[in-house]
Structure formats: C-alpha cells, structure tokens
A and B are shown apart, each in its own frame.
Chain A
Amino acid sequence: MRFAIELRGADKCYESRHAGGEPYEALLNFNLEIIEGEFFCLLGPTGCGKSTVMNIVAGFENPTNGLALNFDKPILGPSADRGMVFQSDVALFPWLTVENNVAFGLRLKGIDEEVIKFIVEENLDLVGLMAHRGKFPRELSGGMKQRVQIARALANNPSILLMDEPFAALDAQTRRLMQEELSRLWALNKKTVLFITHDIGEAIWLADRIGVMTRGPRASVKEIFTVNLPKPRSNMTSEFVNLYNLLNDSISAESKAMMNE
C-alpha cells in the first residue's frame, strides 16, 4: 500500500494583510494519507480550510511547518503529475477550442502531434464531448465545461486527480449527472482522486473514504469514515442514509460550534 499524498503535521499560517494584525492559523497539525487508487473525499463546513489543504497538495502554497509528500517526494510546486479540476470554469482557456484545451498539457511536453491527437480524442470520447471538440468553452453548458476540465486533467495522465468542489457551481440535476459520470470514469481507470466538497451526499456517492474536517481556524482532520457501499451507487440505501446521518452529525457539530464562537 502506497500513499499518493501524505500530509504530516502540516501547519499553515497566513500573515495578516494589515500591519499589526493577528496572523491566521488555517491548519494546525494536519495529517492526511491518501492511498494509491482510492477516491478520497475531504468534507468540511465552509471556511474550514479545505481549499488551503488543496492548495498545499497542488503545490500552490507551502505548509508553514510539516511535510507534504506525493509518493514520498516532497511537493515543491505545481506539477503535471497532480492534475486539477477547479470549481470555476475560468480555469479553461477561453481562446482555445475544447480539443486544444485538452491538448494544452500535452503540447507543453512537446509530444508528437499525432500522439496528442490520439490522446485528446480518447479523453474527449471518455467524457462524451467528441461532438463538441471544435467549440469554444463559452459555447458549452456548465456541466460540459467541467467535463472539459476533467478530460484536460486526465489527458496528462497524472498520478492523482485533485478536484476542488468541481460541481458546486452546477444546478442540482447536472451535479447528480456529473457525479454519476465521475463514478463511471473512476471505475474505468481507478485513478487516485482527492475530492473536496461541502456536500455530504456527494461525498457518499463518490468516495471510498471520507475525511471530515474540524472547523477553522487551526483545522485538522476530525474523523475518517470508510464507505462500504457497493459501486456504482445509484440509489439511497439504508446504509447510505445511516452514513449520511453520521456525517451530518459530525459536521453540524463543527458548524454549530463555529456559530457560537
């Protein structure tokens, strides 16, 4: 068993933007292990520091203290080895067509155009966007844009896929559809995924394990739940509901405490 991502005693402290202001301790002694090949969901109330964790794993930010490892190698900056799907479709390049967006990472590597074409088509096919390959992102619906982001990240064949609330901006129906899509994709290639969300249902639909975070500041992982439900998960079974209630209790304890502070 190998760890795709390991955070060991990671602290993250932000200096105050105003002179003389208090520094903000977002994370304190944060520990996280993501096993190779698993779908891991990080679940937490708004403002708990989920995005800080993601920024550290992606390499956009360094932890103030502690270790951040990707297959035992320290994370020093963003890398093609850790693909990312962002919440906002701003992350797409609006001046490139769908297929050129997907080809972006491959072109950076200077791969042969014929190989690029093959990989791009393979991934567009995977997310069902072959018919829209020549369109610009602004011509697509919200769900389709997120598919482009997923295809673009997968085309690079990263060792782990990071997803930062990728479906949060979609309407409820599209979101459910995208969750099923993602489950199907994951079943195909069993790529390691770190998925961040505040949506409990989403976490249960998708994850092998769910890490619930404590409220911020000084956030850490509160408890980890293993989701022992057979995949694909298409109906809410009684186990689903039981787990939902457990997670809900765990999170609302944090939210309530935050409101009382």
Chain B
Amino acid sequence: MNKILRYFSNLWQRSNLLYLALCAFTFGGWQLAASFTIPILLPPPVDVGRAFLQGLIDGSLLLHVGISYYRILVGWAIGSAIAIPIAILAGRVPLIRFLLDPYIEFFRFIPPIAFVTLFMIWFGLGEFSKITLIVYTAFFTTFLSTMTGAMSVEKERIRAAQCLGASPRQVFFRVIIPATVPHIIIGIRLALGLSFMTVIAAEFIAAQSGIGYLIFNSRLFAQTDNVFVGIITLGLMGFSANWLLKITISRIAYRYDIKL
C-alpha cells in the first residue's frame, strides 16, 4: 500500500504541472471543437461529465465496469493459466509441438470476434460464452510467446545445470521455467490488452450489461454523450488494469530483468 502511495506521490510531484497543462489542452480543444458542431455528433466535455456523474450516482456505470472487468479478468486468467503449461511443454517436447502446431497456426489467424456468434449458439447468451471467448483470446497470445521462450532457452544454460547434477525434472523446473518467465510476462500483458478488445465486441453483440453494451446501446438511442462515457471509461479500465499488472510484476521484474 505504501509502495502504491509513494508511486503516486512521486508521479504527481514530478509531472503534475505537465499533466495539468495536457489536461487543459485536451479539454479546451475538445470544448472548442464541440462548439462548432451539434452535441449529437460531438458532445462537449461538460455534457459527457454530467452523463459520467449520473452513471456513477445511479450505480449503472460501476455495474457495467464491474461486469466487463469480471469477464476480462476471469477469461484472461483462465486462458493464460491453460496456455502457460501447455506452451512450455510444446516448447520443450518436439512431439507435442509437432502435434499442436497445425492447430495453433490455423486458429491464431482467426480473430476471436469471428467466434462470437458461434460461441453464443454453443454456450448460450450468458456469461459462459463471453468468458470462453476471452479464454480463447488470451490463450493464443500467451501460448505463442511462452512457447517461443521455452524453445529458446540456451543450450549452455541447460548443460550447466546438468553438470551441476540436475535431473531432467530438475532442469525443467529450475532452468526451463524460470528462463521462460520473461516471455510469459510479455504474453500475458499482450493477452490482457487483446481481452479488452474482445470483451467489447462480445458485449456489442450479445449482452445486457458491460461497457460494450453501454456504448452500443447508447448509440441506438443517439446518446452520444454516453458513448463517450463508455469509451473514456474503457480507457481508464485498461490503464488501471495494466497499472495493477505492472505493480504485481514489479516484485519479480528486477530478478528476471523485465522492462516495465
């Protein structure tokens, strides 16, 4: 907690003036641009702020944020958790890689959005189909990065462990896995970003809640200000999720020489 507070206070002290200037520039420009057109095309920041506050007060916005977050985080965690062990094995065991390769190479080029309707038919309109879609999204990104990492563990490093008496099992757990950690981290960070994209697409098409639903539904009623609320909220969600992930990773970042 202290660390988080310190992070914020440092950030604030170093860059508060610059950020203030950037904010003023952004909102000023937006307000100016809005004055040249009608609110239904570009609502001024004041309108968007009002809609934002209203959503906060009646609780609907937090509900949308909560449900979208839930789908993203659960799907992402499951997808990554499945991908990591299989990818490490595939990276180290040529037979497994050989068997999985055609599937991976085929499905990785199909964007998750292409499966939205199919997953609805298979898994219904509830949470399961959306979470499965996120699982699919997170799986491939994490898998490919992790497998690359596991494949590229230096021969000398493995041999060094063998000369120190490591059994194949010990080599796997004490060399292969730690050596793959940086690639796993890259994979899950990319997967988190892609999960945000997928959840919105899924909520556009088949949901009664979530930020994607908010954006799509507001469009139907020409509530452009609420569309803006959705988009901005989404940005803030991604920003905070990435920030939380960074904080979590920072504990091991130095040891594994990961650049955040």
Taken together as a complex, chains A and B put the C-alpha atoms of A229 and B175 apart, in Å, by 43
Taken together as a complex, chains A and B put the C-alpha atoms of A58 and B157 apart, in Å, by 14
* Nearest CB in chain B to that of A60: its residue: B159
A58 to B163, Cβ gap below 8 A? yes
Q: Does B206 contact A (CB under 8 A)?
A: no
Taken together as a complex, chains A and B put the C-alpha atoms of A92 and B175 apart, in Å, by 10
Residues of chain B contacted by A59 (CB below 8 angstroms): 162
Known: A95-B181, A156-B165. A78 touches B157 (CB 8 A): no
Closest Cβ of chain A to B254, distance in Å, is 8
In chain B, positions 214-258 with a C-beta closer than 8 Å to chain A are 254-257
Q: Does A233 contact B (CB under 8 A)?
A: no
Residue in A83, A93, A109, A136 whose beta carbon sits within 8 Å of that of B163 in the complex: A83
* Nearest CB in chain B to that of A136: its residue: B255
Q: Give 1 or 0 for each of A83-125: 1 = CB within 8 Å of chain B CB.
A: 1101010111111000000001100110000000000000000
Residues of chain A contacted by B175 (CB below 8 angstroms): 93
Q: Does A79 contact B (CB under 8 A)?
A: yes
Taken together as a complex, chains A and B put the C-alpha atoms of A219 and B254 apart, in Å, by 46
Known: A94-B257, A95-B181. A80 touches B159 (CB 8 A): no
Residues of chain A contacted by B174 (CB below 8 angstroms): 104, 108
Known: A93-B175, A95-B178, A105-B165. A78 touches B257 (CB 8 A): no
Taken together as a complex, chains A and B put the C-alpha atoms of A162 and B162 apart, in Å, by 13
A90 to B154, Cβ gap below 8 A? yes
B166 to A91, Cβ gap below 8 A? no
Q: Does A152 contact B (CB under 8 A)?
A: yes
* Nearest CB in chain B to that of A106: its residue: B164
Q: Give 1 or 0 for each of B157-194: 1 = CB within 8 Å of chain A CB.
A: 10111111111001000110011010000000000000
Known: A90-B157, A93-B157, A93-B175. A153 touches B163 (CB 8 A): yes
Residues of chain B contacted by A77 (CB below 8 angstroms): 162
Q: Does B156 contact A (CB under 8 A)?
A: yes
Q: Give how many A-B residue pairs fall within 8 Å (CB-CB).
A: 67
Residues of chain A contacted by B179 (CB below 8 angstroms): 95
A92 to B160, Cβ gap below 8 A? yes
Known: A90-B157, A91-B156, A94-B257. A84 touches B170 (CB 8 A): no
* Nearest CB in chain A to that of B255: its residue: A95
Residue in A86, A104, A153 whose beta carbon sits within 8 Å of that of B156 in the complex: A86
Taken together as a complex, chains A and B put the C-alpha atoms of A60 and B163 apart, in Å, by 9
Number of B residues whose C-beta is below 8 Å from A? 22
* Nearest CB in chain B to that of A88: its residue: B156
Closest Cβ of chain B to A236, distance in Å, is 33
Closest Cβ of chain A to B154, distance in Å, is 5
Residues of chain B contacted by A82 (CB below 8 angstroms): 163
Residues of chain B contacted by A190 (CB below 8 angstroms): none
Taken together as a complex, chains A and B put the C-alpha atoms of A153 and B162 apart, in Å, by 11
Residues of chain A contacted by B255 (CB below 8 angstroms): 95, 136
Known: A95-B178, A95-B256. A80 touches B163 (CB 8 A): yes
Residues of chain B contacted by A156 (CB below 8 angstroms): 164-165
Interface residues of chain A, those whose CB is within 8 Å of chain B, are 58-60, 77-80, 82-84, 86, 88, 90-95, 104-105, 108-109, 136, 138, 152-153, 156, 162
- The 9 lowest CB-CB distance pairs between A and B, nearest first, are A80-B165, A105-B164, A78-B162, A91-B160, A84-B163, A91-B156, A90-B154, A90-B156, A95-B178
16 contacts between A and B (CB under 8 A): A78-B159, A78-B162, A79-B163, A79-B165, A80-B164, A82-B163, A84-B160, A88-B156, A94-B256, A94-B257, A95-B178, A104-B161, A105-B165, A108-B164, A153-B163, A156-B165
Interface residues of chain B, those whose CB is within 8 Å of chain A, are 154, 156-157, 159-167, 170, 174-175, 178-179, 181, 254-257
